[in-house]
Amino acid sequence: MLGTSFFGAVRDVPRAVRLPAFGSFLNGVVSFTFVHLTGPRGLSVPQAGVVAGIGGADARGGCRSGVRTTGAARLTWQVRAPGPDRDHPARPVGPGGASPVRFRVMTDTTPARTTGAVAAGLATIAGDGSVLDTWFPAPELTAEPGPAGTERLAPDQAVSLLGEGAAKAVGVDARRGVEVVAVRTVIASLDEKPLDAHDAYLRLHLLSHRLVQPHGQNLDGLFGLLANVAWTSLGPVAVDDVEKVRLNARAEGLHLQVTSVDKFPRMTDYVAPKGVRIADADRVRLGAHLAAGTTVMHEGFVNFNAGTLGTSMVEGRISAGVVVGNGSDIGGGASTMGTLSGGGKERIVIGERCLIGAEAGVGIALGDECVVEAGLYVTAGTRITLPDGQIVKARELSGASNILFRRNSVSGAVEARPNNAVWDGLNDVLHSHN
């Protein structure tokens, strides 16, 4: 017996816009059908609309929801059916009497970030006066930070704010050709762009100390404020002075190790967040946000202004600007498209309990409980075959939940299917003892 597919009637939604709606059945077994409402370069819905009439008989209730962001507006959708499964909102809607799917446009009501930050720290100043780094051991957010800027602290002030060790930490380091000074930096508003290198380093510390989440502050112009530095076993060194410093080290019987030449140091040389395991510290930049319960394995990588919001396994790449939800797994060698190189503008968010398989990748956002099979890279322009045979670009599914992305091993077509067989999730043993 052939199953019956139900397509919701669309009211008050512009014809140029398409969104996913779901619901079809075959003898009481859930299958998946998409109604698509698309528009050029994302969603643009000026008024509310309703997709109605998804349902059938003998329904097992369920709930399904999602969110899609376009500029300052967010489009949310939800399908809710009565029944015993209401406590499991991530499961697909059963083939029963579901209430209408309602779409509404929500303007971003998040209040402007007026919070500032303040911290005392130690800065390394090169011979030419450039700031090589600034370490802030205990940054704080504050509603009344005072005027923005950085001031150099007197010895007694440094001891008062940083502790007794500050008195010995400051001074000229002739071996590296630098001077270490104590400073106090104030950010009047995190909405304003960084003023100088000290300000930039404080913002990176706020991220790695988990005081601010990715995209929670203005980082415009940050790259231009940071010097390119040789990060060595003796501390930061001006790139032009590396060989001189290497000789000075040899003269003292020391071997200078240069771990990288970059604008960003390793996070663990400045911040070691609690509840986190990092197998290779070189793979996590200062400015990464790692939530408690996160494990970053040897092939994992986390850039600045990116990271995790909950317990996660990271065996692949979390690029700049990418945020991973609680319970998700970035498989070995997997990749997420960031917003730095290649002119990428869309922020990639990986929802909760998602799995990106080994050597797979995504250039779209994923909702909750999505799976991308191993070896499959889903870019925004990837053409996806839906269960009804319709072909759409992957960007039209961006942010949708409970989808399995796979490549048909016979036809080679990339397909989107309902993720009915939810993966087993993270291994609790690996994350509960971080």
List the catalytic residues: 315
CA distance 121 to 137: 7
Q: What CA–CA distance (Å, rounded) separates 58 from 94?
A: 9
Contact indicator for 319, 338 with CB cutoff of 8 Å: yes
Q: Count of CB atoms within 10 A of residue 12's CB?
A: 11
Secondary structure (3-state) at 397: helix
Q: Is 394 helix (H, G, I), strand (E, B) or coil?
A: helix
- Sheet with 349-350: list strands edge to edge: 288-289, 306-308, 323-324, 349-350
Of 414, 346, 337, the closest CA to residue 383 belongs to 414
3-state helix, strand, coil in the chain (%, to 5): 15, 30, 55
- The annotated binding site for succinyl-CoA is made up of 317, 332, 335, 358, 373-374, 381, 393, 406-409
Residue 247 phi, psi (nearest 5):
-65, -40
306-310 long-range contacts (CB < 8 A, ≥24 apart) are 306/214, 306/338, 307/207, 307/214, 309/213, 310/352
Cα separation, 314 vs 295, in Å, equals 6
User: In the numeric block, which tokens belong to residue 318?
Assistant: 């979390």
**Residue positions in the annotated binding site for Mg(2+)?**
282, 299
Contacts of residue 69, Cβ cutoff 8 Å, sequence gap at least 6 = 75, 347, 399
Residue 250 DSSP label: H
Token pair of 325 as six digits: 């939800």
116-to-24, 121, 195, 196, 418 alpha-carbon distances in Å: 51, 17, 13, 15, 44
- Exposure string of 299-325, with b = 16+ CB inside 10 Å and e = fewer, is bbbbbbbbbbbbbbbbbbbbbbbbbbb
As a whole number of angstroms, the distance between CA 144 and CA 159 comes to 23
* Residues that constitute the known binding site: 282, 299, 317, 332, 335, 358, 373-374, 381, 393, 406-409
CA distance linking residue 279 with residue 296, whole number of Å: 6
Neighbour-count burial for 147-182, b at 16+ CB within 10 Å, e otherwise: ebebeebeeeebbebbeeebeeebeebebbbbbbbb
